[in-house]
Structures are given as C-alpha cells and as structure tokens.
Amino acid sequence: MDSKRSAPVGRPRGFDADEALEKAMTVFWQNGYEGASLPALTSAMGISRTSMYAAFGNKEDLFRKALIRYADGPASYGVEAVAEPTAQRVATVFLHGAVRSATLPGYPTGCLSLRAALIGGEDAQAIRNLLAAWRDETRALLTKRFRRAVNEHDLPAKTDPALLARYVMTIGNGVAVQAAGGAKRADLRLIVDAVLQNWPPALARVPKKHLA
Amino acid sequence: MDSKRSAPVGRPRGFDADEALEKAMTVFWQNGYEGASLPALTSAMGISRTSMYAAFGNKEDLFRKALIRYADGPASYGVEAVAEPTAQRVATVFLHGAVRSATLPGYPTGCLSLRAALIGGEDAQAIRNLLAAWRDETRALLTKRFRRAVNEHDLPAKTDPALLARYVMTIGNGVAVQAAGGAKRADLRLIVDAVLQNWPPALARVPKKHLA
DNA sequence: ATTATTCCGTACCGATCGGTGCAGAAGTAC
DNA sequence: GTACTTCTGCACCGATCGGTACGGAATAAT
C-alpha cells in the first residue's frame, strides 16, 4: 500500500506506484470508469494485469485511489476556495479553479467526476454513488462557507447558502462540460468572469416547499 | 422504417415501433450508449433481440433514431427559444426549457446528450462525435440568433455572439448535471432566474487570440 | 551456496458484450 | 385451401470484459 515498507523482503516492485496511479487517473479521466478497460489501464501504467492487481487490489480499488489523487491534485481548488476571506473571493477562486482544472495541458479536458460516472451499467452504481457523494461533499463545503458569510454579514441576510452553493456548482459543472466539448480556457475564463460580475446573485431563501 | 407501409404484405409487426423507440430513448437517457445493453433495451421495449434488429438496424441506428426523437421532443426547447423576439427572451426560454427538460417527471433526470456520451470506450467515438455535433449545432443556432440581436441593437454592439451563446450553453449544461445529481426543479429554476437577472452579461468580443 | 518471499508474464476462467442463422409461427394474397 | 412474405424466439457466434491460477525470474535473509 504505502510507498515505503517497513521490511521489504523479497523482490522489490519493478515500477513506481505513484507514477502508475497518475497514469491510471488519466485513463479514468479520459474514458470514465467502465470505458477504461484493463488493457487500456495497464498499458498506460506500463505494467501487467497481475502487477496491477497485486499493487492496487482490483479495478474499483484502483479507481478509488485515482479519485483520491484527483481530489488532492487537479481538483483541490474546492478546499482552497473555501479558505478565502470573503464569499466573493470563494466563488472567484472556485470558478477560476474549475476553469483551470478543466483545461489543464497534459490532462483530459473537463472533470473526472462528471466524465467517469454520469452514466453506466448497473455494476457501476457503486462508482456513481461514490462520485455523487464526493460532489455532495464539495457542495456541503461551499454551503457551510456561505452560511458563515451570511452570519458575518458578508452576504445579504436573506441569502440561502445551500442554494448559492448549488448556483456556484452549477456554473462549475457547466464549465466542465464545455471544456470536455472543446471550449478554450480563455473563453471559459471570460464566461465565469461574466457570471462573477453578478455578485451576490439574488438567491433568497425559498419561501416554502410547495405541496407536491 | 415508416409507421405506414404502402403494401404491408406478410405478417404485420407485433409491436408499436413508436412506443418501442420511446422506451429505447429512455434507457439510453438513463444509462448512456454503452451502458444500455441489448437485453436492457429489448426488455424495456418489450420485444426480442431479432425484432429490434429487423425494425431498427442495429444498436447505433437505434440510438440515432432515439436521439432524433429526443431532439424533437424533450429537447426541442432550443429551436423554440431562438424564435423568441428578444435576446433576453431567447435566453430565458432556453434556460427555462433546459430546467424543465432535465427534470421531466417520468423521464431520467438531466440531458441525454450529456449522459450518453461524455465518455466511453473507443468504439463509442462515433456516438460521441454525433452528440458533440448536435450540441455544436444548438450553439450555432444561438450564436446566429444573438448575432442578429446585436445587429438589431437588442444587444450591446461589442457583445460577442459566439461567446454569449457559449455562456448560455454553459449554464444549461450545468443545470443538466445538477438535475442528474438530484437537484430539484424549483431550485434550478431559482438558479437560472438569478443568472438571467444579469442580462446582458458583459461578454465583449475577445481582443485577439494571443499567440500560442 | 540454500531458502524464503515477492514480483510479473502467460495463459486461462466464466460472464457478458453486440450481432446473426435458422426454423417455425403468423399473417396476406390468390 | 396453397403459396408467399414477414415477424419472432431460440440458440449460437467471436470478441471482450474483469479477474485469477500458476510457474518462472529476481531479490533478501540466512
């Protein structure tokens, strides 16, 4: 599991697990979970099937580890954003990060979380749930941060933090889709800047859930 | 092919092709192109493998026909929007239509075009290209409409119609993703209304493509 | 040296994929 | 009725899926 073992007796591993995971992340990012076949993964990782299973468990475990690497790397802008001092800065850093992450040179365009599991057969349900949980987590992070901003009078009192968080996520998701479709970074940057000029958006607390 | 034949000699078809196509569209919408297996499709359509091949050709042909049905049905809001008299109305109808289409009761949430083919193996490349072309077509429709609005002084002269079209598409895509993730129609409606309050967004023509 | 432990390539497993051949059932035309 | 056309269910095809058993190669401890 770890890169350093306490007593590595036996033949040492013939590849760098970190580099292999990086390659696997890229393949998942490009092709999604089900679309990434084991031959595609292992050939990109430069190792054989057996070595992958020995080092990472199975395909699902490999994906989970790749996702962690993704969240800590290219998609770390979420946690960075909520550390900003004002709500406007939070939104700005978040959306600029979304644009940057979705158009990184050397990586697939768009967002791994969206490309990997909007769809799929029934056996990919676990992966879908995992990614949905991760996106919900990010949204909860933003909600909490915006709630604090309301309490600090950094946002109008009637602002609904949850709705504002979903607003920001919606723009970020749209950016990811556009990037996956070939949109240029400069264009997306102009678009999110246009969105950010409308701040804070008028998102009052919903009056009441109307009867279904 | 058609629902009416000129001389239907021989045993008549034992199912309604239109109803079957509707079911197939739903399965593709829910599971994507590759995620929709033939057993899943045929069981939803209520017919056997062979009947599907006889009536629709193959899986790819079936998808193409389902997509046409989708574009003429749940996703017809694009062409409806550009018929509106002002640019603001165009954007409003488009985004309201996106929200409605992505949260239709009795249908999968989100947008078929996104769920079906953001990802996939190599053999799904043709499907991806098809859907990308369709989205580009919609964007071109909006671009053309906004260009007309600029000429009619319905939008500021310095507005970039292509960029504005991408802006609207970006919001629409974000809405579709959020809907697929479980967002409620009422919340999405509030979000797009907040976006529409910022109209026209400041999207000037890009100064010049900076040297790569 | 010997022994133990680990890595890794080959070859294989059952399951499922999209697609098809075939024969019988079901209908129309005469 | 007979002849002919079309539909449809069953069984099957080769290819590919994720996953594994096995044996040889390589390194560490002794």
pLDDT tens-digit series, residues A51-106: 999 999 999 999 999 999 999 999 999 999 999 999 999 999 999 999 999 999 99
Read off the pLDDT band of B119 (50, 70, 90).
confident
Looking at residue A3, what is its pLDDT? 36
Check if residue B55 sits with its Cβ under 7 angstroms from strand D.
yes
Q: Which residue of A has its CA nearest to B183?
A: A166
Residue A159, classed as helix, strand or coil, is: strand
The CA distance from A174 to the nearest CA of chain B, in Å, is 4
C-alpha angle with apex A113: A66 to B115, nearest 5 degrees? Answer: 135
What is residue B85's predicted lDDT score, i.e. its pLDDT?
Answer: 97
**Min Cα–Cα distance to chain A from B76, Å:** 20
DSSP H helices in B32-110: 38-45, 49-56, 59-72, 77-81, 87-102
User: Residue A175, Cα to own-chain centre: how many angstroms?
Assistant: 12
pLDDT at B207: 64
Q: How far is B182 from chain A (nearest CA, A)?
A: 9
Q: For residue range B164-177, list pLDDT tens digits in order.
A: 999 999 999 999 99
pLDDT of A14 higher than 90:
no
Query: What's chain B's average pLDDT?
Result: 90
pTM, 2 dp: 0.91
Are A170 and B174 inside 8 Å of each other by CB? yes
In sign, the C-alpha dihedral spanning A169, A171, A172, A176 is: positive
Give strand letter and number of the nucleotide nearest B52 (CA to C1').
Answer: D8
pLDDT computed for residue A212 by the predictor: 46
Other beta carbons less than 10 A from residue B86's beta carbon: 12
Number of Cβ within a 10 Å radius of residue A184: 14
- Answer whether residue B94 shows pLDDT above 70: yes
Q: Give mean pLDDT, residues B53-59.
A: 92
A179 pLDDT more than 70? yes
Spatial neighbors of B9 by CB under 8 A, at least 6 apart, are: none
Nucleic strand D within 7 A of Cβ B12 = yes
Nearest residue, CB atoms, A181 vs list B121, B135, B178: B135
SS3 B204: strand
Strand D contacts in B 105-144 (CB under 7 A): 121
Residues of B in contact with A63 (CB under 8 A): none
A117-163 pLDDT tens trace: 777 777 788 898 999 999 999 999 999 999 999 999 999 999 999 99
Query: Which chain B residue shows the shortest CA-CA distance from A30?
Result: B119
Q: Which of A132, A175, A194 sits opposite B202 (nearest CB)?
A: A194
Answer yes or no: is pLDDT of B19 > 60. yes
B16 CA from D7 C1′ (Å): 13
Count CB atoms within 10 A of the CB of residue A75. Answer: 20
Element spanning B34, H or E: none
The one-letter code for the residue type at B165 is A
Q: Per residue in B121-158, pLDDT tens?
A: 777 888 989 999 999 999 999 999 999 999 999 999 99
Over pLDDT 90: what percentage of chain A?
78
Task: Calculate the CA B111 to chain-centre distance.
Answer: 6
Of A9 and A137, the one with more pLDDT: A137
> In percent, how much of chain B has pLDDT > 70?
92
- The distance of B8 to chain A (nearest Cα, Å) reads 38
Diameter of chain B measured on Cα atoms:
66
B198–A197 C-beta distance less than 8 A: yes
> Shortest CA–C1' contact from A60: which nucleotide?
D18
Q: Which residue among B35, B169, B181 places its CB closest to the CB of A120?
A: B35
Looking across all nucleic acid strands, the nucleotide with the smallest C1' to CA distance from residue B50 is D8
Element housing A137 (H / E):
helix A125-151
pLDDT at position A92 is 98
pLDDT of residue A5: 37
